């Protein structure tokens, strides 16, 4: 029998980090090769070093920062509202048969309607301000989190519920000490999907009218500014924003769920 160490030693983690660096290098090299081989002009396909330089300069001169902050703000608020409502709805869907029968058709219909098509309507209703973006973010986050919560709560072992009942737990105690902790891994599965979708939601919302945000900057860079390296730098920022938020969710998940 081989002893399995409880925690991987540092040396065991380095290959993972190294693999990530190698993958990134390969991606950049492939990009560069594509530019060299095809000979596309920079306004179609700027080479990686030009995008990197523009990324640094646009952050340094304050071109990106205010837009990125606005988008981050929209994402956080929209994700908070959407995920919060989804947790409650997901629980209700799991435990109240009537709620599922009444709500699920609307839920699926809302999910099946492309958010891209819904966005102009929401902009019309809520105006060009923050509200429309938060609504779009919340809408797009809602479905995966609600479904994950529903599945997670339904999967709670009935035998544990019987245990709690034998210990005279109240309804609320069962929710807080049993159902939520037990469903947490599933819920975090939904939150991981939700947080990346929230970024998409914010960008889509900004496309339908905004005075600030990364979505607006994308439009500006390819339109009136016609600064394609800036367009790429903005897309890079959007991607990084998604990665960082996703990483935060994973980190919180590790803290809350831990080893089981």
Chain contacts with other proteins (rule: CB under 8 A): 157, 159-160, 162-170, 173, 177-178, 181-182, 184, 257-260
Label residue 194 exposed, middle or buried (CB < 10 Å: 0-12, 13-18, 19+): buried
* DSSP at 44: T
CB of 84 to other proteins, least distance (A): 22
CB of 7 to other proteins, least distance (A): 13
* 44 vs 257, beta carbon nearer other proteins: 257
* 224 vs 255, beta carbon nearer other proteins: 255
CB of 159 to other proteins, least distance (A): 6
CB of 12 to other proteins, least distance (A): 20
* 106 vs 172, beta carbon nearer other proteins: 172
Q: Residue 85 corresponds to which tokens in the numbers above?
A: 């409502």
* 86 vs 182, beta carbon nearer other proteins: 182
SS3 (DSSP) at 246: helix
DSSP annotation string for 71-134: HHHHHHHHHHHHHHHHHHHHHHHHH-HHHHHHHHHHHHHHHHS-HHHHHHHHHHHH-SSHHHHH
């Amino acid at each position: 029998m081989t002893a399995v160490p409880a925690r991987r030693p540092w040396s065991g983690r380095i290959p993972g980090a190294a693999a990530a660096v190698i993958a990134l290098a390969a991606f950049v090299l492939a990009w560069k090769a594509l530019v060299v081989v095809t000979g596309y002009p920079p306004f179609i396909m700027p080479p990686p070093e030009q995008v990197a330089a523009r990324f640094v300069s646009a952050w340094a001169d304050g071109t990106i920062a205010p837009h990125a902050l606005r988008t981050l703000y929209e994402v956080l608020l929209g994700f908070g509202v959407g995920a919060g409502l989804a947790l409650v709805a997901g629980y209700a869907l799991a435990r109240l048969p009537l709620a599922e029968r009444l709500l699920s058709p609307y839920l699926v219909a809302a999910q099946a309607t492309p958010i891209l098509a819904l966005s102009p309507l929401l902009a019309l209703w809520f105006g060009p301000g923050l509200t429309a973006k938060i609504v779009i973010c919340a809408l797009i986050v809602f479905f995966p989190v609600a479904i994950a919560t529903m599945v997670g709560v339904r999967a709670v072992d009935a035998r544990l519920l019987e245990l709690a009942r034998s210990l005279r737990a109240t309804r609320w105690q069962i929710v807080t000490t049993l159902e939520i902790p037990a469903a947490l891994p599933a819920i975090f599965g939904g939150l991981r999907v939700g947080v990346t979708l929230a970024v998409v939601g914010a960008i889509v919302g900004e496309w339908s009218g905004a005075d600030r945000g990364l979505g607006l900057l994308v439009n500006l860079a390819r339109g009136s500014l016609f600064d394609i390296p800036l367009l790429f730098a903005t897309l890079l920022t959007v991607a990084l924003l998604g990665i960082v938020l996703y990483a935060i969710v994973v980190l919180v998940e590790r803290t809350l769920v831990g080893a089981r």
